Structure 1
C-alpha cells in the first residue's frame, strides 16, 4: 500500500499554501483569519438554513387547504414559499462551498485552481475565500454560459 503523503496526515503549514509568483507566502495570522472567517460564515449559514426551514414549515402549516383564499392570497403564499425555498437552497450551496474551502485549507490545497491546478492568488482568496478557480479559468467558465 502506498504511503500517505505527509500533507494528508496534518494540516498544511501556512507557508505551504499556494500563492502566485511575486506574492508573499501565507502567514499563520492570515491562515487563522481565513479559517475564522470561513468558520463564522458556516455558522451563520447553518443558522440561516435553520431559520428558513422553520419559516417553510410555518408557511406549509399555515397554508392549510387554501379554502376561503382568493387568487391573490394563494399567489402571494406560493411566491413567499418559493422565495423561502430558493433562499434555503442558496444558503445550503454556500454552506457546501464554505465547508469545502475549510477542507481545502486543512488539506493544503486551498488557493489551488480546481481546473488548471495553478495558484488562484492570495489576494483573490482573501477577497473571496470560497474561490475554487483562478481568474483565468473563472472567466473561461463564465464565457461558456
Structure 2
C-alpha cells in the first residue's frame, strides 16, 4: 500500500472532540508504506486502551492530590521535628508533586491522542507530516513523532 499523507489546514491544538465531529473512518488513518490500513477493530482497541489509560491517570492524579493535601495540612505540624524529619517530609511532598505533574502530562498526551483519532490525524508526525507507522502507534499510542523526527529531537537535547 502506498504511503498515505494528509495535510492539515489547522494546527493540532490537542483539544478534546466536541462530540459533534464524526470520527474519521479507520481506513483513513495514516499508515506507512507496506502496512495494512487500520481496521475498525484496531481503531476501537486503540481508542479503548487510551480511554482506559486516561481513566487510570485521572484516578492517580486524584490520589496524588489527596496525598499532597494531607502532606500540606500536616506540614505546619512539625513542632519538635528534627532536621531529618523535616527533610523527609519535604522529600515526600516533592515526590508526590513530581508524580502528579508527570501524570498530568501523560493525561494531556493521552487525551490529545484520543482527539487525534477523532480528527483523523492519528498516526501523522506532527513535525514532518509523514505517517508515524501503525506498528509504532500500536506499541506507543501517544506517539506524535515518526522515528526519524524523534531521533533528531533526542539528539538536540
1:58-137 equivalences under 5 Å are 58-137=70-149
Q: Deviations over 1:108-143 (max 9, x none)?
A: 000000000000000000000000000000000000
Q: 1:38 maps to which residue?
A: 50
Taking structure 1 as the reference length, the TM-score comes to 0.93
Counterparts in 2 of 1:76 and 1:9: CA distance versus 1, 3 Å: closer
What is the aligned length? 138
Check conservation: 2:21, 2:118, Cα contact below 8 A. no
- Unaligned stretches of 5+ in structure 1? 1-7
Taking structure 2 as the reference length, the TM-score comes to 0.86
Question: What CA RMSD, in Å, does the superposition of the two structures yield over aligned residues?
Answer: 1.0
Higher fraction of helix: 1
Counterparts in 2 of 1:22 and 1:54: CA distance versus 1, 3 Å: same
Q: Distance in 2 between matches of 1:85 and 1:116?
A: 34
Does residue 142 (structure 1) correspond to residue 143 (structure 2)? The answer is no
Q: 1:10 maps to which residue?
A: 22
Q: 1:51 maps to which residue?
A: 63
Check conservation: 2:50, 2:141, Cα contact below 8 A. yes
Q: Distance in 2 between matches of 1:84 and 1:54?
A: 10
User: Offset at 1:9?
Assistant: 4.2
Q: 2:5 maps to which residue?
A: none
SS of 1:55's partner is helix
User: Offset at 1:12?
Assistant: 0.3
Which sits farther off after the overlay, 16-25 or 59-68? Answer: 59-68
- Unaligned stretches of 5+ in structure 2? 1-19
Which sits farther off after the overlay, 60-69 or 15-24? Answer: 60-69
